[in-house]
Amino acid sequence: LELPRTDGAGAHAAPPQSVTVVVVDKAGQAFINDEPLAQPALAQRFIALAAAQPATEVQLRADAAVPYGRVVAIMGAAHQAGLTRIGFVAEPVAEPPP
């Protein structure tokens, strides 16, 4: 997975009580706990997560090559299920050698 890079990637806030990591590979396939999920199944999983733990944070790890529309569709499904804490995981920008 080739994550995008940003200077702010190293910043951390207080950890949430419950975290669900959604990985999206280059092909746009979403995974939760290494389980591939089509969009309807992903939406159902989000609904179940929101019912069990409404304060769950969704951490989205999308490959840099994933089209923006796919990322937005996943965010929309999470938000529609009631999961409003959505974070993006990125790699910090590599420091140039001295």
Pairwise pLDDT comparison (7 vs 68), residue with the higher score: 68
CB 5 within 8 A of CB 91: yes
Q: How far apart are the first and last CA of the chain?
A: 28
Q: Does the pLDDT value for residue 14 go beyond 60?
A: no
Say if residue 74 is exposed, middle or buried (CB neighbours under 10 Å; 0-12, 13-18, 19+): buried
**pLDDT confidence band for 10 (50 / 70 / 90):** low
Beta-carbon-side half-sphere exposure of residue 45 (alpha carbons within 13 Å): 17
Say if residue 67 is exposed, middle or buried (CB neighbours under 10 Å; 0-12, 13-18, 19+): exposed
**pLDDT confidence band for 3 (50 / 70 / 90):** low
**pLDDT confidence band for 19 (50 / 70 / 90):** confident
